[in-house]
A and B are shown apart, each in its own frame.
Chain A
Amino acid sequence: MNKVITINLGGTAYQLEEGGYDALRAYLETATARLQGNPDRDEIISDIERAIAEKFRALLGSYKTVVVTKEVAAVLAELGPIEADEGKAAEADAKGAGAPSGASGPKTEGEERAAWSSGPRRRLYRIHEGAMLSGVCNGIAAYVNLDPTIVRLGFVLLTMVWGTGVLLYLVMAVVVPEAHSPEEKAAAFGAPSTAQEFIRRAKQGYYEAMKGFPDRKARREWKRQFKREMRGWGTSFEREMRANADQWRRNWHGYWAEHAPVHPGVGFALPFLSLLHGALKILFICALVVLLTTGTVFGLALPANVPVWVAALLLFIAYGILVGPLKAARHACYWGGGRPGWAWPFVFLLDAVVWLAVVAALLWLALHYFPELREAVRTVPSLAHQAAADIRAWCKGK
């Protein structure tokens, strides 16, 4: 026995089972939302309603007066999702992209909170529209709410640190999924990230406290002190971290310098230590990117109450712990002492040659197995020109 709900479609009453009614209402609501901004919205909706009515009519007879849930679902599947034309969708996307920064002003607190809780969760995607290579920078820019040009510059700067930028880019181009459907595009811009929400709340608390001071002078004094404290806390924390790191590094290096096996052959281990280090770095970047895109670490979902940034931090610490001894070992290979001086150039040469060989092999494999990459390499010269022009235009714009 199921409850029946009577509805009016195009001037005729139809009786639907409750589940069917819910499905129909959800379908029409989605349709209305997708046609947002379309000048023909009302007409299209009434066309769709009439089409549904006609299909229901065909299902009913003198002994069958109720449309059951399964039939409603079948009719809706037959209709298919409402698809407005491409241009409109892209326009809406662009509007969505601008909204977080532009429209947040006039929004009231309640609306903003509603948008926060109901909006799609933000995910890292590659965004192809307006991309230069594969949309990685574009996607990151949407994820952290920045100008894509800044993200691109960041990658260029990172490249100067032992090529990390290029490595990171290639890994992300392969691992990060591209936003295809409108839902994915929405999620790429999505609800504000946890960090932003956190800052918003912190600020709110700050202003709440401000209200407590009746006198303007006292308020200003409190404000100044608050800022000074925050700054002082930040610097001391940073200094402490740096001192700790230095201490650790010194301990390791001292240990290895004393205990490294003094054997002429140890130099040959250097390239392999370097390789292991490189492999760990790639693994770490992959894991980090996967964590940001899917919220899982090596296929394991995070516990519900652990935010993504905490997981990222833990991952980073784990990487540091793994890599620390390796770094120290390499250091010991370089500076361990106790070997005849003439052998060193050969050890360094071996290290460099093995590295180059592995990088070349990886590049060859990548070019061989990813046709997209080959395509990208072919477009590099024109893209470089465009990038230069863009950066110039951006500098002028500022």
Chain B
Amino acid sequence: MMRLRKGLNDRLLTWKMAGGVRQTIADILERGGRNVMVVLGFIIIMFMILIALLAPVLPMADPTELTDELLLPPSSDHWFGTDENGRDVFSRVVWGARVSLLVATLAVLVSMVIGIVLGLTAGYFGGKVDYIITGTIDLFWTFPPFLLALAFAAALGAGLFNVVLAISISYWAGFARLMRGQALSMRERQFVEASRALGAKHWRIMFTHVLPNCIAPLIVWASIGVADAITIESSLSFLGVGTKPPTPSWGWMLQSGMLHLSSAPWISTFPGVTMVFTILGFNLLGDGLRDVLDPRMKGLRR
């Protein structure tokens, strides 16, 4: 583990970034590496990402191929058994990881971009701009993301990018609140003032001075956000408004496996366990980093 961390550190140091960012990330790695939760979460996430990336080259059955081998229990041929259509459950779980991680990461990225832009603008400029944007943020913040996402997903119809869109529209408010708070506290700082005095443009100050100083909480939120997004995506798929079958999706697999719960429990069990494992990984990383970096952020999640 130590070597891994050191290796990462060296790599990061070669990036051409503002000193603040480089330092923050080095700091996160340094302190995070001593926290059990962070390390465990990181290992789980890396494992899942690796599996998801390698899905096309792993020697597995086609996840959508229908065969005559219906409802076979786990064996050396089919590690996780087969489902009611004779598809290999292991291969579907692995491909499902790809879908889940892709949807969740994209959704978090999109909501992060919306949140950063709106939150920074509101916090940095203040006044009327802040009033309007904060009003909007609070409006969205009121509703649980799942409820909003359900409404949008139902309206947009099933499909991978519709789900990404539905989750992003519902999830950005958290990032925006965070960024606004950070920008508010940052804009009175001397280095920002100095930069302004030197004639730097607003957007330059926002993105090269304010933003890099918010990296740590953003990473925490993004990690917890991915866990939430996986939960939302799989719940939507479970309800039939997520990704479209035959795209392998954990939520959908659990839904179809429910009918065979007593005769073929493996259809639901394996995707379910993998899903919890993945969500747990992101939660561990996020919670652990939050505890390490800023104990004051405890409870922000609610």
Is A bound to B?
Answer: no
Interface set of A (CB-CB < 8 Å, partner B): none
Interface set of B (CB-CB < 8 Å, partner A): none
